[in-house]
Amino acid sequence: MEAPVRIENRAQLIYLLTEAAELEHGVMCSYIFAAFTMKRRASEGLTDEQAATVRRWRGVIMHVAIQEMTHMCLACNLLTAVGGAPHVRRPNMPSSHRAYGPGFSLELAPFNRDTIETFVFIERPESQETGSTQGENTSLPSLSSGNFSDIFSSERRYQTIGHLYRGVEDGFRYLTQKYGEEGLFIGPPKAQIIEKYFNLPGLIPVTGLESAIAAIQAIVEQGEGARVEDENAHYARFVAILNEYDEILKVDPDFEPGRRVLKNPYSIYPNDILDATSVNLIDDPVTMDVCNLFDGCYELLVQMLGRLLMGNEETEAQRTLIADVTVAIMLDVIGPLGDVITTLPAGPSYPGFNAGPSFRFSRDGYTPPHMVAAWSLFIERMKELSAYCGLIQGDDELKAVLNRVSRSLAQYAEQLGKPEVAAV
């Protein structure tokens, strides 16, 4: 078993919880991207039976991605409980090989056998050895001397996500003894985000050691570090898909369940990616416009989620409304745009390839800290994005999607801007 992750003070706990939230967010986007690229119909080169199987796989991956969102929210609840700030940002992908302890690079890859094998690697339990070695090195060198023994350390010695959470759990137990339960859990209980906002099973408030341990164990049992024999764990679900995939390949070696989509596609070069060769810049003008629209809507979605997680000024009714609108944007905006982008051409530089959503963050995409200003910005941005939909050229199928997205965004702006909402 790997050496334990040592946490000796609150700053180290907040650091690792921030990393955990960021990691869960990145993993979620990797899964959603792959799901967007999966074929939907037999007319895309599948038999009817294969198409049904691929649709079922897509349902599994999207379900796991939703649980990753739950994990990110739980990590933010844990952060808030001990005085940290909820963390909803992450690096643009692909992430650096040195960004996270397990030594793998999170990226946006279309669905194929290699991709599902990567998902198996990500979700592997602590006790499970795999032949895969994502990234440059699965055991990163120490970033400083000592092992979380200094006052300001950024070391990350965990080898799996389960290992990380085991260290976090040990840290909570130790710091409860060190500071006392009241001394450790100093965050406002009303700022906790709970299941009723998102209808996400397992999204529990963290107000003390018992609930903190319950939140951590819920994350581990659902996926990262779960028992190998648990068929409902993320690891087991992805292994099952991989095994089915191999069985189909034995019968049909030409089986391709995913669309020909670029890896790590961007419409604009992200400013935090150092290796220009690691991304592919889309150069079809219409596709670029749709991808920019997706990124704008995604960033708005994350800002609204961050506002909900802050929970420091909104009333209960206002938090409920912003949660409802956030979920609606996921379903009625992000979903349709992500699906249609993977049917659009990447451009003349990539003949035969389609584009994909990049989930890109800009430098200024942080959550607005003040409620009145935040809501005004959200409404303004929704109206701008709604209008932008009408400026994009495209065929009838694309225009139908854009029209629905435009109407949805305009409706949400109206909901947030009602006088009775602002007066609550």
pLDDT tens string 343-365 = 999 999 999 999 999 999 988 87
Examine the domain organization and report whether 143 and 208 are in the same domain: yes
153: confidence class by pLDDT, cuts 50, 70, 90: low
Check pLDDT > 80 for residue 149. no
Helix (H) or strand (E) holding 340: helix 335-341
- Distance CA(134)–CA(121), nearest Å, equals 8
Check pLDDT > 90 for residue 54. yes
Tokens of residue 147, six digits: 């092992």
pLDDT at site 143: 39
Check pLDDT > 90 for residue 386. yes
Examine the domain organization and report whether 148 and 11 are in the same domain: yes
Examine the domain organization and report whether 137 and 281 are in the same domain: no
Check pLDDT > 70 for residue 103. no
pLDDT at site 303: 96
Average pLDDT, stretch 170-190?
Answer: 96
139: confidence class by pLDDT, cuts 50, 70, 90: very low
Examine the domain organization and report whether 212 and 82 are in the same domain: yes
Least confident of 126-130, 383-387, 392-396, 417-421: 126-130
198: confidence class by pLDDT, cuts 50, 70, 90: confident
Examine the domain organization and report whether 243 and 283 are in the same domain: no
Q: Show the beta-strand stretches assigned E in 183-279.
A: 265-266
- Distance CA(185)–CA(218), nearest Å, equals 19
Tokens of residue 189, six digits: 């209980």
Burial-class residue 324 by CB neighbours within 10 Å (0-12, 13-18, 19+).
middle
Average pLDDT, stretch 300-319?
Answer: 92
Examine the domain organization and report whether 134 and 190 are in the same domain: yes
pLDDT at site 222: 85
Examine the domain organization and report whether 112 and 229 are in the same domain: yes
Check pLDDT > 90 for residue 44. yes
Distances (CA, A) of 386 to 214, 351, 365, 378: 41, 31, 19, 12
pLDDT at site 25: 96
Here the CATH number for the domain that contains residue 77 is: 1.20.1260.10
Check pLDDT > 50 for residue 136. no
Question: What is the number of structural domains in the chain?
Answer: 2
Here the CATH number for the domain that contains residue 389 is: 1.20.1260
51: confidence class by pLDDT, cuts 50, 70, 90: very high
pLDDT digit string, tens, across residues 155-169: 667 888 888 999 999
pLDDT at site 199: 79
Average pLDDT, stretch 381-390?
Answer: 98
133: confidence class by pLDDT, cuts 50, 70, 90: very low
Check pLDDT > 90 for residue 224. no
Of the spans 85-99, 141-155, 184-198, 370-384, which averages the highest pLDDT? 370-384
pLDDT digit string, tens, across residues 3-41: 778 899 999 999 999 999 999 999 999 999 999 999 999
Burial-class residue 139 by CB neighbours within 10 Å (0-12, 13-18, 19+).
exposed
CB atoms within 10 A of CB 146: 10
Alpha-carbon dihedral sign for residues 205, 206, 207, 211: positive
Examine the domain organization and report whether 288 and 253 are in the same domain: no
pTM of the entire predicted model: 0.92
pLDDT at site 91: 93
> If DSSP codes are grouped into helix, strand and coil, which group holds residue 162?
helix
124: confidence class by pLDDT, cuts 50, 70, 90: confident
Check pLDDT > 60 for residue 135. no
Among the listed residues 400, 406, 389, 290, the one whose alpha carbon sits nearest the alpha carbon of residue 345: 290
Check pLDDT > 80 for residue 151. no
Tokens of residue 85, six digits: 């700030």
What end-to-end distance do the CA atoms of the chain give, in Å?
53
Examine the domain organization and report whether 21 and 52 are in the same domain: yes
pLDDT digit string, tens, across residues 66-100: 999 999 999 999 999 999 999 999 999 999 877 77
pLDDT at site 372: 93
What is the pLDDT of the chain when averaged over all its residues?
89
Residue 83 falls in which region: left (phi positive, over 0), alpha (psi -120 to 50) or beta: left
In the listed set 259, 284, 312, which residue is the last one of a domain according to the structure? 259
pLDDT at site 232: 80
Examine the domain organization and report whether 326 and 405 are in the same domain: yes
Examine the domain organization and report whether 86 and 221 are in the same domain: yes
CA 55 to chain CA mean position, Å: 21
Range of the structural domain that residue 192 is part of = 1-259
pLDDT digit string, tens, across residues 234-258: 999 999 999 999 999 999 999 999 9
In the listed set 259, 293, 321, which residue is the last one of a domain according to the structure? 259
Helices marked H in 252-334: 285-310, 316-329
In the listed set 196, 231, 259, which residue is the last one of a domain according to the structure? 259
Examine the domain organization and report whether 12 and 24 are in the same domain: yes
